Structure 1
Amino acid sequence: MTMPLEIITLPCLSDNYAFLIHNPASGETALVDAPEAGAVRAALSERGWGLDWILLTHHHWDHVDGVAELREAYGAKVIGAEADAHRLPRLDKAVKDGGTFSLMGEEVQVMDVSGHTVGHIAFYIPAAEAVFTADSLMALGCGRLFEGTAQQMWASLSRLAALPPHTVVYSGHEYTQANAGFAVTVDPGNPALQDRVRDIARAREKGTPTVPSSLQLELDTNPFLRAADSAIRAHLGMEDAEDAEVFAEIRKRKDNF
């Protein structure tokens, strides 16, 4: 029987997350995003692991700043989007939307999830039932539209929403409690959201990460995935609008929240 991949949620900087993916059978380890080197090196040292691969979702400094030091220290190879290669650290493997590659014996599917940035990608590992979304789909939120359009982000979120609902969503920041404060303003009658708000408060009181989350939980509570929901549409006075228009209004409200 194949041993499952081990995935470690690793707090970095003030509110970022990176993720270590370890194959116990082969002893290989990959990292998704590298906000800083120190926290990653400490986690690897504590477990006695090396670092073989670094997977990058997008070019923002708080996702790539640790790459140079980690590559130097461990000889890790870097994987990122071909479309973003001009502003990422040097890539050893450039990947495209719709492509796949093998990582530690498992298939990884590459998804373009542009919106927060253009060229942002997510990594979906079906065998691990895991998707690494960074600043596209986030816990109870989505990334601010720094480069892409609302239409692009809605298309990206719709692709992610179509993954199996039991998929675990590994996103890039501990923004969940702030996102919850906004979510209840556009979806006030959602009992699942109210339950989640309470769960988030308890977790943060204990210093427990709220990332990862399940896709099903996001589908039930994340307003950025729920533009088709009749209650949200009624609350916004947008019953007849296109889904992407409703999403754009929700995103605009969050920007001004």
Structure 2
Amino acid sequence: MDANKLKVELIPIFEDNYVFVLVDPESREALVVDPGESSATKTYLHENDLKLKGILLTHHHNDHIGGAQNLKNDFRAPVWAPLKNKSQIPFADTYVQDGDVLEFDDVRFEVMALPGHTLGHVAFFNPLKRWIFSGDVLFGLGCGRLFEGTPEQGYESLQKLKTLPAQTLVYCAHEYTETNLQFCKMLSMFDDSPIMGGDEDLELYENELTSKRELNIPSVPLKLFIELKVNPFLLAKNAQQFAYLRDLRNRN
């Protein structure tokens, strides 16, 4: 696979999930990230005559792994999954943890452990393209629920994401941005709450988002430098503030 030629295709599944297919159009090779079901991905791979080189899984929730074993069997493709999810994803071929590096020819991914949403959650960062496949840790104007981890873990995981280059594109696995926008607009009315950047930045974000969604264009990938300006969870100053925001979002 040629890293310079690589492109990312988004396949919508279920109500709001995305499966990511990384394609080298010259070699006709592909990688798949978080296939919650297999049929749509199979169709795409067959229609485009692609060879599946591997499947990357960020965490064990079924809407991210439900189609992985079927794809593995049909395409004889290896699976990479978080080491801490070995018992939940027993069919994986290789288990990864923080600091590991995956290489597919000259396509390189650095593994980042990002606990909070789940304890074993990882992300895959491509430093050349500045792409991160972040599963359910960060969303447009939001973040993932803490199903297994603590607010401290969730907060620290977002701090790790903030160390990435500002131009990083975030391939999160759900189309939640419009719903999160409504939460941010509600949050901006509270004088005593941790507020995002400026109202002007949020208005610009809303205008761009509305234009995209009216044309049925995904809000994903997110631009990290923009999220750093307006995403309240990235702007939280400490774990306590993050916990307050997460609890408020859970109830709204």
TM-score by length of structure 2 reads 0.92
Instruction: State the AA in 1 paired with 2:251.
Output: N
Map 1:156-235; keep pairs closer than 5 Å: 156-187=157-188, 189-228=198-237
How far, CA to CA, are the matches of 2:105 and 2:82 in structure 1? 19
| Residues 3 and 107, structure 2, Cα contact 8 Å, conserved in 1 | no
Shift of 1:25: 4.6
Q: Size of the alignment, in residue pairs?
A: 243
| Residues 23 and 104, structure 1, Cα contact 8 Å, conserved in 2 | no
Rate the CA distance shift 1:221–1:118 in 2: closer, same or farther, 3 A.
same
How far, CA to CA, are the matches of 1:245 and 1:39 in structure 2? 41
Percent of paired sites with the same residue: 37
Are residues 1:7 and 2:3 paired?
Answer: no
Map 1:1-257; keep pairs closer than 5 Å: 3-187=4-188, 189-228=198-237, 243-257=238-252
Instruction: State the AA in 1 paired with 2:231.
Output: N
Higher helix share: 1
SS of corresponding position for 2:52: coil
Shift of 1:205: 2.1
Q: 1:240 aligns to what?
A: none
| Residues 28 and 49, structure 2, Cα contact 8 Å, conserved in 1 | no
Q: Which consecutive residues of structure 2, in runs of 5 or more, have no partner in the other structure?
A: 190-197
Q: 1:235 aligns to what?
A: none
Q: Deviations over 1:151-177 (max 9, x none)?
A: 000000110111000010000101110
Bigger shift: 83-92 or 119-128?
A: 83-92
Q: Deviations over 1:101-153 (max 9, x none)?
A: 21242221101111111100000010121000010011211101111011000
Shift of 1:218: 0.9
Shift of 1:41: 1.0
- How big is the alpha-carbon RMSD for the aligned residues of Structure 1 and Structure 2? 1.5
How far, CA to CA, are the matches of 2:129 and 2:87 in structure 1? 30
Instruction: State the AA in 1 paired with 2:224.
Output: L
Q: Which consecutive residues of structure 1, in runs of 5 or more, have no partner in the other structure?
A: 229-242
| Residues 3 and 25, structure 1, Cα contact 8 Å, conserved in 2 | no
SS of corresponding position for 1:87: coil
How far, CA to CA, are the matches of 1:212 and 1:40 in structure 2? 19
Rate the CA distance shift 1:222–1:178 in 2: closer, same or farther, 3 A.
same
Instruction: State the AA in 1 paired with 2:240.
Output: E
How far, CA to CA, are the matches of 2:203 and 2:150 in structure 1? 30
